Structure 1
Amino acid sequence: MNNFSKDNQAIIFGLGAVLLWSTVATAFSISLKYLSPTQLLLIANIVSLIFLIALLTMKGELKLFFSYAKQSWKASLFFGTINPFLYYLILLQAYKLLPAQEAQAINYTWAIMLSFMAVPLLKQRLKMADYIAAGACYFGVLYISTRGQIDTLAFTNITGVAFALFSTIIWAFYWLMNTKDTRPSLIGLTLNFAFSLPLIFLFAGITGELSHWNTGGLWGAVYIGLFEMGLSFVLWNKALKLTSHASRIANLIFLAPLLSIVWLSQFAGEPILTSTLVGLGCILVGLFIQNWAKRNKQ
């Protein structure tokens, strides 16, 4: 009965994280109408760092945080440069150039990218299911990118698509390198945000984005920092610790892009494109095939 109760709690925490993640594309879309990607990232990073440090303080792990900051500053700088600095700058640029529904759908192919990058980096082997999954996912990307005009390959915004695809490479690389990270997860994440903050400030200063702020996107940036970069991680981590079947929790992530499209149409004023629904369907099928193959292997 206790295990049953823990699994139920895990699903609730997991659904909470997925619900928060599903709103992020809408927050990106609204905030980027007022702020540049760099400005949005700067505010979100500060808010997330404050939240994470407060959480460490509540858990009594602040001294441990400073200890790891001294002994693992190279790793913290390395991971912080990748995420959140590079990853979010690139991802937000994609959201700036593309409709949010397209950018977020393409970004979900990062799991397929991770499988292929694991071959040279972790010496893993690809299975036939990986190739089938990749075919389905990248056909979906092509369909979304051309708004269904795949016969003419008339991309609506090839630069935006390139940024979205590049973000999947950065994110996959981050998670592959994360397998070698010996820092505690919450402390490591907080250190990433702490070491990325000076980089974002420096980049914003060089590009002249520390002035001419539009406060219209401020609350959206605060929301992103607090919920997408902060609380969602805590909820998801809690769900994974409580569950006896990690695959059940992992499968909840399939709800996020579907809910995201609903929020975008309702709150960001984005009409739902048929090409996005078809392409996203292909991507979700590909991800399902990949997860199914992994579960059978295990």
Structure 2
Amino acid sequence: MEHTKGNILGLITILLWSSLALFTVYSGSIPAFELLSISFFIASFIGLLMLKNQKRKVKELFKIPIKAYIIGVFGLFGYHFFYFLAIKNAPAVEANLINYLWPLLIVLFSAFLPNEKLKWYHILGTLIALIGAILLVLKGGSFEFEIKYLAGYLFALFAAIIWSSYSVISKTLKHVPTFAVTGFCILTAIFSLIAHLIFENTVIPSSTELFAAIMLGLGPVGGAFYLWDFALKNGDIKILGSLSYLAPLLSTLILVIMGVASMSIYISLACLFIILGSLISSKEYLKLIKGIFIKS
């Protein structure tokens, strides 16, 4: 039951991540780290409400092992830090293309976990979904890896490795309760604020921009991390890794629906590849669901 719930919450997390691009667009002129600090402060309040709902005290956050905090901040802050550095030091297309290796890396890294077996359809499905992600990022254009952007490419690769390794390592921390993410978010908010004060000029957001920042904190850059933590610790990490390619696809479709982007043949092909790849990777789980319906 927990296994199924974990996969479902993982899918909900991916749906939340699909709103990232839309709210980022509406966040307008808010600098990256300022936006992150606002979003993660909102995410921290979600965690504090979770603690209150579970009748726990804030001091329980101090009982979480230091190792868990290092891993949590490494994942949440480390990923976003290197991702934004990548965007600033390399063309967005190439940076995003390298960054979207993280779902594939989750599937591959999961092979090193105890009692986890990587089967041919996990790899095949994830690779097909990766092709879809590439089509989605390129949008009919092309990309050229230039040596002058090497630092940016490396930052994007670091981001992909950090998020995938954080996700896989979290699978091994079942003894660490999900409310620990509250502490991760608080520290990430603080580090993001420090990065903002060092690298950026403060911008007073408009009401629309502030609303977008709050929504990011409630959803894709905040609240989603609590769901992801539970999903990783209780669901099938290989399926979750493959399904993660739905995030850029759904994100693009939302932009199309909202009139921010337009539909194209490349988006249609990407849709086909990503859905096909996700279904192939989830072959084992889909068979289980089919069996449940047949029995009932």
TM-score surpassing 0.5? yes
Query: Structure 1 residues 26 and 90 mapped into 2: Cα distance closer, same or farther (>3 Å)?
Result: farther
Q: Are residues 1:194 and 2:190 paired?
A: no
Partner of 1:58: 53
Partner of 2:276: 285
CA shift digits 1:26-77 (9 cap, x unpaired): 112322x312221111100111101211221232112xx423424523421x
Q: Are residues 1:269 and 2:260 paired?
A: yes
Query: Structure 1 residues 267 and 226 mapped into 2: Cα distance closer, same or farther (>3 Å)?
Result: same
Q: 1:47 aligns with which of 27, 42, 51?
A: 42
The 3-state SS of whatever aligns with 2:23 is helix
Partner of 1:114: 106
Q: 1:218 aligns with which of 207, 210, 216?
A: 210
Query: Structure 1 residues 291 and 229 mapped into 2: Cα distance closer, same or farther (>3 Å)?
Result: same
Aligned residue pairs, count:
279
Q: Are residues 1:35 and 2:27 paired?
A: no
The 3-state SS of whatever aligns with 1:269 is coil
Unaligned residue ranges in structure 1 (runs of 5+): none
Query: Structure 1 residues 163 and 131 mapped into 2: Cα distance closer, same or farther (>3 Å)?
Result: same
Q: Are residues 1:133 and 2:125 paired?
A: yes
CA distance in 1: counterparts of 2:272 and 2:99, whole angstroms:
14
After superposition, residues 1-298 of structure 1 pair within 5 angstroms as 19-31=15-27, 33-62=28-57, 65-70=58-63, 72-76=65-69, 78-91=70-83, 98=92, 110-119=102-111, 126-148=118-140, 166-209=158-201, 211-215=202-206, 217-232=209-224, 259-267=250-258, 269-293=260-284
CA distance in 1: counterparts of 2:19 and 2:33, whole angstroms:
20
The 3-state SS of whatever aligns with 1:228 is coil
CA distance in 1: counterparts of 2:115 and 2:31, whole angstroms:
39
The 3-state SS of whatever aligns with 2:260 is coil
1:57 partner amino acid: K
Query: Structure 1 residues 240 and 123 mapped into 2: Cα distance closer, same or farther (>3 Å)?
Result: closer
Query: Structure 1 residues 52 and 22 mapped into 2: Cα distance closer, same or farther (>3 Å)?
Result: same
Shift of 1:161: 7.8
Shift of 1:202: 2.2
1:197 partner amino acid: A
CA distance in 2: counterparts of 1:43 and 1:252, whole angstroms:
28
The 3-state SS of whatever aligns with 1:148 is coil
CA distance in 2: counterparts of 1:16 and 1:181, whole angstroms:
21
Normalised to the residue count of structure 2, the TM-score between the two structures is 0.70
Normalised to the residue count of structure 1, the TM-score between the two structures is 0.70
Shift of 1:185: 3.3
Contact 1:52/1:230 (<8 A) preserved: no
Shift of 1:178: 0.7
CA shift digits 1:230-279 (9 cap, x unpaired): 544567789999x9x989x9698787555433321243612234323323
CA shift digits 1:118-168 (9 cap, x unpaired): 345769664332442343233334434443357xx557xx88887666543
Query: Structure 1 residues 67 and 45 mapped into 2: Cα distance closer, same or farther (>3 Å)?
Result: same
Query: Structure 1 residues 176 and 201 mapped into 2: Cα distance closer, same or farther (>3 Å)?
Result: same
Shift of 1:173: 0.6
Shift of 1:224: 0.7
Shift of 1:194: 2.0
Please tell me the root mean square deviation across aligned C-alpha atoms, in Å: 4.6
